[in-house]
Structure 1
C-alpha cells in the first residue's frame, strides 16, 4: 500500500530531463505559463498605452505631434524587425537564454524611457523596447509548446488571447496614469513586472536544447532600414516642406532599400518573405489588403485619443477609453465572425466589415450630433464591430495561400499590418504638421482613410475563397 504512490513518481522523475515535462510536478509548468503570459500582456499593453499620452508628450518634451507619434510607429517598427528572426534566435541560442535576454532588454529600456528628457532619446528607447518585446511572443510560444505537449493548441491559443486583453487595458490604463500621475509612470510600471518575470523564469524555466538554424539577419536589417528611411522621409515633409530635396532623397533611398530587400529575399535561405509567395499574385492582393487593414483599423485609429483631446478637450482617461470601447466591439464580433466562416466564406464578411469600419471612421470625422464623448464612443464601437467582422476572414484568407506554412504566413500577416499602421500614422503626422490646425487635419485624415477603405472593397473579390472542407 505504501509503495503505490511511488509508482507514478518514477515516470515523473525519468521525464525530468526533457523540456516538455519539466523537472517537477505540473504546478511548475502552470507557474511558468502564467509568468511568461504576463510578459506577453505587458508587451501588448505597451503597444497602446502611449496613445493617450501623445498630447502630454508633445507639451512636456517641447516637441511637435509629428515627432510624438514616432513613439508609436517606432515601437511597431522594432517589432517588425524583431518578429521574423526572434523565433529562430531562440531555437539557435536556446529558448531560456533568449527569453531572459528579451525580458531584460524590454525592462531596462522601459526604465530608461521613464527618465528620457528629449523626444529623440525616448524614440530610440521605444525602438529598443520593441526589439525586446517583439522577441517575447515567439519565445513564449516556443516555451509553451515545449511544456505542454498534450493539448498544446489550447495553451498556445490562451497565449495569443492575452494580446486583445492588453489592447483593451492599455488605453484606459495609460489615460488613468496620465490623468492622475506623470507620463513617465507609463514606462516605470513595466519595471517591477519585468523584474518579477525575470527572477521567476530564471529560477523555474528549464534549459532548452539549442538547434542550428539559419537566420535571415540581412533581410531583417534591410527591411528595418527601408521602413525607417521612408518614415523619416515622410516626417521631413512636415518639417521642411515639399520643396526640400531631403525628404525626396530619403524616399528614393527607401525605395532602393526595398528593392535590395526583395532581391535578397529571392536568394536567401530561410527568407522572411518566402520566394514561393512572392511569385503568387494572390499574395500581393491579400497583403495589400492587410496593409490597408492595418492602416485603417490600427494605424490612424491610434490617434483617436489625441484627436479627442485636441478637438473636444476630453481628459486623457476619457480619450483612452475610446480605444477600449473599440476593443470591446472587436472582441464581441470576432467570435461570431469566426463561427460563421464555414458557412459564408471569406469575402462576404470582409466586405461587410470593411464597409462598417469605413462608416465608423466617417462618423469620427464628422461634427458630433450628440455630446463629443458619446459620439466618439459610438463611432469607436462601430469601428470595432467592423474590425471584428473583417479580422477572422482576412486572417484565414492569408493562411489559404500556403496552408502548410501557417506560422510563416501568420508572421507575414502581422508584419504587413504593422507596416500599414506605421505608414498611416506617419502620413497622419505629416498631415498634422502641414495642415491648418492639428484637430482639423486629423479630422481630414479619418475621412481620407474612410474613403480609402471603401475603395479597397472591390479588391476583396480577388481574395482566394475558402476551400471546401
Structure 2
C-alpha cells in the first residue's frame, strides 16, 4: 500500500471520527500550529538567555543543561501517555489542557528565583508540551482534506521551523529589552489566543480506547532520565566511577525492560508493531540522530556567539537566523516537493547538507573568526534542517492507519525530544572533556570536537535515510 493510499484510509476500529464545523483550511492550520509553535519556541528560547540566567541565578554548567533537559525529558516521557489520553478523552480536549498547563508553568518559570525552581517549572512546561506536539499534527491531519495534507504538513513543519528560528532571537530581544523572566511571560498571551481558536477551528476526535501503560511510561522515563543524568555527571564524577557506570547500567536495564513489556502488554504505550513499517522505523532513527547532532550543536553555538564573540543576547540571536530561519522557508517548499520527488531524496539531501555544515563549522568557528565567514555554513545547516522536518513527519504517518496517527506522531516526537536531551548532554560532555570553559579561548578550542561528534550523529541519520523505501511519496 502506498503512502497516499494509507493517508486516505478512514479511521477503523472504535476510533471516533472527527466532528467539527466547516472552517477555512488556513484557520485549521493556524489553530493546530500556533500552540505547537509556542512549545517549539521554548526548546530554544532559553539558549540566548543562558549566560544571563547563569549569572543571575548563579547556575553551574550542569544546571544550564537541566534548564533545557528538564523540559525535553518531561516532554519526551509523557508524550505517549498524552496521546493515549487523547484517544480516550478526546484529542482536542487534551490538547487544550496541555496548552493551559504550559501557560501556567510558564508563569511559574518567570517567577523562579533559584536554579532549582526554574528546573522544576521547566519540567512542568514539558508536561504541557507533551500534550501539544503530537496531538497538533493529528488534529491537523483530521481537519485538512487528504489532497491538501502534504502541503498542510509542510506549513506545520514551517511553523515548527519558525519556532526554532525565533527562539534565540525572541529570547535575546526580550533579555536585552526587559529581563530573562519575560521570555516565559510571552507564552501567556499566545495561550489565551490559542485555546478559543482550537475550540472553534479543530474538531473533536478519539482513537482506540485502551488502558494506559503506566509501568511502561515509568520504565521509559527512568531509562532516559538516568541515562542523561549519567552523561551530564560523567566528567565531574569520572566516566569509570561506580556512580556513573552503575547509573548507565540501570538505565540500560530499564530501557530493555520497557521494550520487553511493550512487546507483551495488551495496551502498549509504544506499540512495537509500528516498527514493522520500514518507513516508520527509518524516520525514527533519523529523528533521534538528527536531533542529537543538530540541537546539541545549537546549544553550544548559541553561547559561542556571546562568550567568544562578545555579542549581546539579541545580537547573538539575530546572527543565528541564517541557520534557524531557513527551515521556516524551506520546510513548506519541501512539503510541496515531496509528492513529486519522494521523501528519500529530500531526506538524503537535507541530512547531507547538515552533516557537511557541522564539519565546516568545526573548522571555521574559532577565536578570531569573523561572523561573515560563518554565514555560509549556518545557511547550509538551515536549508538542510528545512529539507528534513516535513519529509520525516510525513514518513512517520505514511504507512499508519488513521487511528494510529496520534500514537505514531507521539512516538516520533518522543524519540526526537530524547535526541535533543541526549544531544545537549553528550555534546556538552565532549566539550567539557576537551577542556572547555566559559571563556573565549577555552570555549573555542573545545567546540571543534563537540561539533564533529554532532556531525557524526547526523551522518548516522544520513545512512538511515538511504534505507527509506524507494518511491515513497508524501
Q: What TM bracket, shorter-length normalisation?
A: 0.7 to 0.9
Partner of residue 127, structure 1: 123
1:191 to 177, 188, 194: 188
Q: Identify the range of structure 1 (133-142 vs 165-174) with the bigger mean alpha-carbon deviation.
A: 133-142
Partner of residue 3, structure 2: none
Q: Secondary structure at the match of 1:366?
A: helix
Q: How many residues matched?
A: 448
Partner of residue 252, structure 2: 255
Partner of residue 92, structure 1: 88
Judge conservation of contact 2:344–2:468 (CA < 8 Å) in 1.
yes
Higher relative contact order (CA 8 A, sep 6+): 2
Offset of residue 81 of structure 1: 2.1
Q: Identify the range of structure 1 (55-64 vs 156-165) with the bigger mean alpha-carbon deviation.
A: 156-165
Offset of residue 130 of structure 1: 1.2
2:448 to 443, 448, 466: 443
1:416 and 2:412 matched: no
Q: Secondary structure at the match of 2:374?
A: helix
Judge conservation of contact 1:35–1:197 (CA < 8 Å) in 2.
yes
Judge conservation of contact 2:157–2:331 (CA < 8 Å) in 1.
no
1:374 to 372, 375, 381: 372
1:384 and 2:382 matched: yes
- For structure 1, the residue ranges without an aligned partner over 5 or more in a row are 1-17
Partner of residue 216, structure 2: 219
User: Per the alignment, do residues 270 and 191 of structure 1 end up closer, same or farther by CA in structure 2, a change over 3 Å counting?
Assistant: same
Partner of residue 13, structure 2: none
1:173 and 2:170 matched: yes
User: Per the alignment, do residues 59 and 151 of structure 1 end up closer, same or farther by CA in structure 2, a change over 3 Å counting?
Assistant: same
Q: Secondary structure at the match of 1:215?
A: coil
Partner of residue 39, structure 1: 35
1:297 to 294, 301, 317: 294
User: Per the alignment, do residues 279 and 379 of structure 1 end up closer, same or farther by CA in structure 2, a change over 3 Å counting?
Assistant: same
Offset of residue 407 of structure 1: 4.7
Partner of residue 365, structure 1: 362
Partner of residue 306, structure 2: 309
For the pair shown, the structure with the greater C-alpha radius of gyration is 1
Partner of residue 326, structure 1: 323
Task: Please report the TM-score for the alignment, with normalisation by the length of structure 2.
Answer: 0.80
Judge conservation of contact 1:400–1:466 (CA < 8 Å) in 2.
no
Offset of residue 390 of structure 1: 4.1
Offset of residue 272 of structure 1: 3.3
Judge conservation of contact 1:397–1:466 (CA < 8 Å) in 2.
no
Partner of residue 49, structure 1: 45
User: Per the alignment, do residues 368 and 152 of structure 1 end up closer, same or farther by CA in structure 2, a change over 3 Å counting?
Assistant: closer
Task: Please report the TM-score for the alignment, with normalisation by the length of structure 1.
Answer: 0.81
- For structure 2, the residue ranges without an aligned partner over 5 or more in a row are 1-16, 438-442
Offset of residue 410 of structure 1: 3.5
Q: Identify the range of structure 1 (237-246 vs 153-162) with the bigger mean alpha-carbon deviation.
A: 153-162
Q: Distance in 2 between matches of 1:279 and 1:387?
A: 26
* 1:142-191 CA distance string (max 9 Å, x none): 66677778988477776565322222222210011122221111112223
Q: Distance in 2 between matches of 1:99 and 1:452?
A: 32
Q: Distance in 1 between matches of 2:31 and 2:277?
A: 41
Offset of residue 468 of structure 1: 8.1
User: Per the alignment, do residues 272 and 363 of structure 1 end up closer, same or farther by CA in structure 2, a change over 3 Å counting?
Assistant: same
1:69 and 2:65 matched: yes
Q: Distance in 2 between matches of 1:431 and 1:213?
A: 43
Q: Identify the range of structure 1 (291-300 vs 231-240) with the bigger mean alpha-carbon deviation.
A: 291-300
User: Per the alignment, do residues 202 and 313 of structure 1 end up closer, same or farther by CA in structure 2, a change over 3 Å counting?
Assistant: closer
1:59 and 2:55 matched: yes
User: Per the alignment, do residues 177 and 126 of structure 1 end up closer, same or farther by CA in structure 2, a change over 3 Å counting?
Assistant: same
User: Per the alignment, do residues 202 and 287 of structure 1 end up closer, same or farther by CA in structure 2, a change over 3 Å counting?
Assistant: closer
Judge conservation of contact 2:47–2:303 (CA < 8 Å) in 1.
yes
Q: Identify the range of structure 1 (344-353 vs 128-137) with the bigger mean alpha-carbon deviation.
A: 344-353
Partner of residue 8, structure 1: none
Q: Distance in 1 between matches of 2:318 and 2:193?
A: 28
* 1:404-457 CA distance string (max 9 Å, x none): 755544333332222222111101222344432231323320122224434664
